[in-house]
Amino acid sequence: MTKENLRLLDANLNRLREGIRVIEDIYRYILNDKETSVRLKTLRHKIRVDFYEQLLNSRDIKNDVLKQSTKSEQLRSDLNAIIIANFKRAQESSRVLEEFTKLIDINLSENFKDIRYELYDIEKNIKN
């Protein structure tokens, strides 16, 4: 893996975990939905890779050309908008991870595919 590929994986792993965590905390602390919270927590714990140190070494926040937020990222109209934005963030990241981990290990790629489909299912079945 190149440093650039590792950097991409690192960013998307972080984005995936963060997106799921936001949704999980909403369902846990605001909506008191244990079932959805547990599903999300379980899913978040499936986000594992064996090359964490390499990812940290590839991280380059100072040179991220898009680290500044866009206007749409700064605006949320309500709780549902936060939930939707974070589902989309997590789904998109899991797709990137699915594609790029094909370069490393097909089983790892399939894990991210499973995570993506589980996110689609949770999103479809949520109550808010």
Q: Considering the entire predicted model, what is its pTM?
A: 0.86
Which stretches of the chain are DSSP H helices? 3-25, 34-44, 52-58, 71-74, 79-100, 106-125
d(CA 23, CA 115): 14
The angle that helices 106-125 and 79-100 make with each other, rounded to 10 degrees, is: 160
pLDDT at 107: 96
Say if CB 118 and CB 40 are below 8 A apart.
no
Say if CB 116 and CB 15 are below 8 A apart.
no
pLDDT at 71: 60
Q: 30-85 pLDDT, tens per residue?
A: 999 999 999 999 999 999 888 888 787 787 776 666 666 656 666 778 999 999 99
